[in-house]
Amino acid sequence: MIIAMQIRAARAMTGMSKEQLAAASGLPVATIETLERDETQGEPQALLAVKQALEAGGVLFIASGNHDEGGPGVRLKARASSDEGIRPENLNSANDD
């Protein structure tokens, strides 16, 4: 299951507010705050709802690695090839929004 650090990181990566995550997961904002403080005792359904809402927002959760491979984490899903955005070499002040 996911941990508080992953929830906070995933929310930051997607730009979701606590209120938006609460609405997307069907949970009260107070529950989101509790989960982000790592006070998750007995809340597996809430964790699952948050995980599903964040995954729908474009996040992948990474499980803890073996010994030297690091702990649990998050990353953004790969974009579809048609949604590549602007390539770094083409960035300039004209397309800086």
Query: What integer pLDDT is reported at residue 64 of this predicted model?
Result: 80
- Would you say residue 90 lies in a domain? no
Q: What's the rounded Cα separation, in Å, for the pair 7 and 74?
A: 9
pLDDT tens track for 4-42: 999 999 999 999 999 999 999 999 999 999 999 987 666
Q: Tell whether 88 is covered by a domain.
A: no
Report the 10 Å Cβ neighbour count for 94: 7
Residue of higher predicted confidence among 88 and 62: 62
Whether 92 is covered by a domain: the verdict is: no
Quick one: which of 23, 15, 49, 24 has its CA closest to 35? Answer: 49
Structural domains of the chain, count:
1
* 19 belongs to a structural domain: yes
Q: Does the pLDDT value for residue 78 go beyond 60?
A: yes
pLDDT value for 80 = 59
Residue 92 confidence class, pLDDT cut points 50, 70, 90: confident
74: containing domain: 4-83
| pTM (predicted TM-score) | 0.75
Has residue 39 been placed in a domain?
A: yes
Domain of 35, CATH number, reads 1.10.260.40
